[in-house]
Amino acid sequence: MKIPKTTFLATPETEAQRLLEIAIFIVNRFWQIKGFYLLPHDISDFSGREIYFPDLKYPVSFWNEAKRLARLKQLTMPLGTKKETLDQIVRLVPATLPEFKDIKNRWQKVEREFWQFYFATFPGYAQKIRSVEVWVTKYDRLGSFNTNPADIKVWIHWQASCGDIAEGILSSILRQKHLRDGYTWEESEAAIDNLIFNSKLHQLFPKWKPTLVGLRTNSNYALESKNYFAKLGFGGNSKLVISKLDTNLTLTEKEILKNLQNRNGAVVNFEAIGDIIWKDRAVEKYSEWAIAQTVHRLREKIQSLGFTSELIQTKRGEGYYLLS
């Protein structure tokens, strides 16, 4: 069986893009709304929620580029940043790059068995994958990935396990399908966690920890993170995001968002949203498909303005709720 070639790399350019990617999720409030903790230093007692983003002298152009990329429907690796902008960010990156010899050696010992499982489970992708690049980083231990099943790229922390590489590859293939099927970020993560944990991959990667397990762990860094977000100029939660959206929405969208906000995280059911959309004709016009399309357009508008569409969550079979 021929397996895809896997290349490991860590360069000033990949590290610069990693910092920029973290900044995108600061700008669109994903980290804040999802309850992650942003820290200006690395830590040894990582639980799953902490994001390492060094306190450097980021220029205005850095944040402007993060805001531009935050408005895109889909991010790629590389991020599509202009060379002159990337060069500015590269100059911020500390000279010491992460080592990856150890994780590369460990992956090479298990990769054939991983791909055997992968192609047996997803035979339709066997001929589609041309290459895998593992971008090793010092920043953000959660990892990340592109969504191109032909040329897979994953970001992995230099102290990560081989299971994290496997998770990145699986996410690269499956995330887009999950999004098309209406999965939330948590549901997609849970599906991939479950695939690894309840298959032979768990025996292959015994030290791997499911992403969502770490996210249920309390952190001692909440106050430090809150202060760091504020220092960077991106403090606040969903209420702040909504206040910035108000003038860009239709009357119906504003009313839906207002109802979601007034419920303080509780579900607004489909019928209530139908009443907002169709008023007195709600019984006659009611359609959960049309409601889903309305909320989808609202989410797209939120993202086009540079905020995370994860602000509005789906409660399957019931309705929608707002993350706080």
CA 210 to CA 200: how far, in whole Å? 15
| 203 and 256, same domain (yes or no) | no
Average pLDDT of every residue of the chain: 87
Share of the chain above pLDDT 90, in %: 43
Which pLDDT belongs to residue 185? 84
Q: Considering the domain boundaries, does residue 274 fall inside one?
A: yes
Residues 31 and 93 in one domain: yes
63 located within any domain: yes
Pair 134, 74 in one domain: yes
Does 235 score more than 80 pLDDT? no
pLDDT at 211: 78
How confident is the model at residue 114, as a pLDDT? 95
Q: What is the pLDDT of residue 214?
A: 62
Is residue 252 domain-shared with residue 131, that is, in the same domain?
no
In angstroms, what CA-CA distances link 58 with 90, 93, 94?
11, 10, 13
Neighbours of 194 (CB within 10 A): 12
- Would 222 be classed as within a structural domain? no
Same domain flag for 54 and 138: yes
* Residue 72 located in a structural domain: yes
- Same domain? For 95 and 132 the reply is yes
Band of pLDDT at residue 99, cut at 50, 70 and 90: very high
**42 contacts: CB under 8 Å, gap ≥ 6:** 52, 138
Tell me: do 299 and 203 sit in the same domain. Answer: no
* Arithmetic mean of pLDDT, 225-251: 78
User: Does residue 201 form part of some domain?
Assistant: yes
For residue 115, tell me if it sits in a domain: yes
Do 116 and 258 belong together in one domain?
no
- pLDDT above 70 covers a percentage of the chain that reads 94
Q: Are residues 69 and 101 in the same domain?
A: yes
Do 250 and 295 sit in the same domain of this protein? yes
Q: Final residue of a domain: which of 215, 245, 270?
A: 215
pLDDT per residue as tens digits for the range 25-79 = 999 888 888 888 999 998 887 777 889 999 999 988 899 999 999 888 777 788 8
Range of the structural domain that residue 33 is part of: 5-215
Number of domains in the chain: 2
Instruction: Tell me if 221 is assigned to some domain.
Output: no
Determine, yes or no, domain membership for 226.
no
CATH number of the domain where residue 307 is located:
1.10.10.10
pLDDT value of position 248: 75
Which residues, 6+ apart, have CB-to-CB distance to 231 below 8 Å?
Answer: 55
In three-state secondary structure terms, 106 is: helix
Please check whether residues 254 and 318 belong to one and the same domain: yes
pLDDT top residue among 127 and 65:
65
**For 194-203, 219-228, 231-240, 254-263, which range has the lowest pLDDT when averaged over its residues?**
231-240
Q: Rounded to 5 degrees, what angle do the CA atoms 72, 74, 80 make?
A: 75
- What mean pLDDT is predicted for residues 142-164? 87
pLDDT, tens digit (0-9, with 9 covering 90-100), for 162-187: 999 999 999 988 888 887 887 888 88
| Same-domain pairing of 120 and 249 | no
Q: Of 85-94, 138-147, 184-193, 232-241, which range is least confident?
A: 232-241
Of residues 166 and 301, which shows the higher confidence score?
A: 166
